[in-house]
């Protein structure tokens, strides 16, 4: 009997790193560029995680200004905001414990790959991860599509073996994206979504801190 390959799919913003301040500054700049009043600080913090096009259209950006808003966000974020981030306390230890237990660690993030990969390098996460899958430059994919590409990478690089995977994320998009592939999702309460959002979306459990991650992930992908 073939043992299933244990895989943890990991959201980035709000799960592995606190990037809200850089994202908020870029969102504010985008609204100023298109001449639309910016939403509240709390709403702008919620832009961390979901695809940026979804966030803009959900929060007052008309369709004819969407491309300009995305361009403004990208220019500001790529210049300044991408580097305004920090790894959440306890995350490196959690990732180390999972790798030592034999879990494959793959980031699946709605942050474009052109930013996700270098920032993981810069903050020291890359040596703890097996791969980083980010959104395309136009950020047109859903979280489910991004997770699908992450799973495809696992199949392509690890061969035709059974996989037991779980998603870890802080927003409803992580939960729904995992469900698109029949995967459970663990909610990260230290991120930006909150318990009510995660449970309503269908998270199988919510975790209070990164210290809770290894046991919760291993319970889903091993045994």
Instruction: Find the distance separating the first CA and the last CA of the chain, reported in whole Å.
Output: 13
- Tokens read off for 35: 């001449």
**Which of the residues 11, 18, 170, 212 is marked catalytic?**
11
Torsion sign over Cα 206, 99, 97, 124: negative
- The domain ranges of the chain are 5-18+87-221, 20-83
Q: Is the pLDDT of residue 1 over 60?
A: no
222: pLDDT strictly greater than 70: yes
User: Which residues on adjacent β-strands are paired with residue 104?
Assistant: 7
Residue 54 has a pLDDT of: 87
- Taking all residues of the chain, what is their mean pLDDT, rounded to a whole number? 93
What whole-number distance in Å separates Cα of residue 202 and Cα of residue 122?
33
Mean pLDDT of 24-43: 92
pLDDT tens digits, 97-117: 999 999 999 999 998 899 899
Summarised one tens digit per residue, pLDDT across range 86-98 is: 999 999 999 999 9
Region 149-169: what's the mean pLDDT? 95
Q: What's the predicted TM-score (pTM) here?
A: 0.85
**Residue 140 pLDDT more than 80?**
no
Residue 48 has pLDDT above 90, yes or no: no
- pLDDT, tens digit, 9 for 90 and up, residues 169-200: 999 999 999 999 999 999 999 998 899 999 99
Return the CATH number of the domain spanning residue range 20-83: 1.10.150.240
Q: Note the pLDDT of residue 2.
A: 64
Domains 5-18+87-221 and 20-83 share a fold: no
Radius of gyration of the chain (CA): 17
**At a CB cut-off of 8 Å and minimum separation 6, what does 151 contact?**
7, 9, 163, 165, 181
CATH of 5-18+87-221 given 3.40.50.1000, 3.30.450.20, 2.40.50.100, 3.30.2010.10: 3.40.50.1000
Annotated active-site residue 13? The verdict is: no
């Amino acid at each position: 009997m073939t043992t299933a390959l244990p895989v943890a799919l990991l959201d980035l913003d709000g799960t592995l790193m606190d990037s809200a301040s850089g994202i908020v500054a870029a969102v504010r700049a985008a609204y100023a560029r298109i001449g639309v009043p910016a939403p509240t600080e709390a709403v702008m913090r919620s832009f961390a995680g979901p695809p940026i096009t979804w966030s803009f259209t959900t929060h007052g950006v008309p369709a004819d200004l969407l491309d300009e808003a995305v361009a403004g966000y990208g220019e500001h974020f790529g210049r300044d905001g991408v580097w305004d981030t920090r790894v959440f306390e306890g995350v490196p230890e959690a990732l180390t414990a999972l790798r030592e237990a034999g879990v494959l660690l793959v980031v699946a993030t709605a942050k474009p790959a052109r930013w996700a990969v270098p920032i993981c390098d810069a903050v020291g996460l890359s040596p703890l991860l097996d791969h980083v899958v980010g959104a395309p430059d136009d950020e047109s994919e859903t979280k489910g599509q991004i997770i699908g590409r992450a799973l495809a990478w696992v199949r392509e690089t690890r061969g035709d073996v059974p996989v037991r995977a779980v998603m870890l994320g802080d927003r409803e998009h992580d939960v729904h994206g995992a469900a698109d592939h029949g995967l459970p999702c663990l909610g990260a309460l230290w991120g930006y979504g909150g318990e009510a959002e995660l449970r309503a979306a269908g998270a199988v459990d919510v975790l209070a801190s990164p210290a809770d991650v290894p046991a919760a992930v291993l319970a889903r992908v091993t045994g």
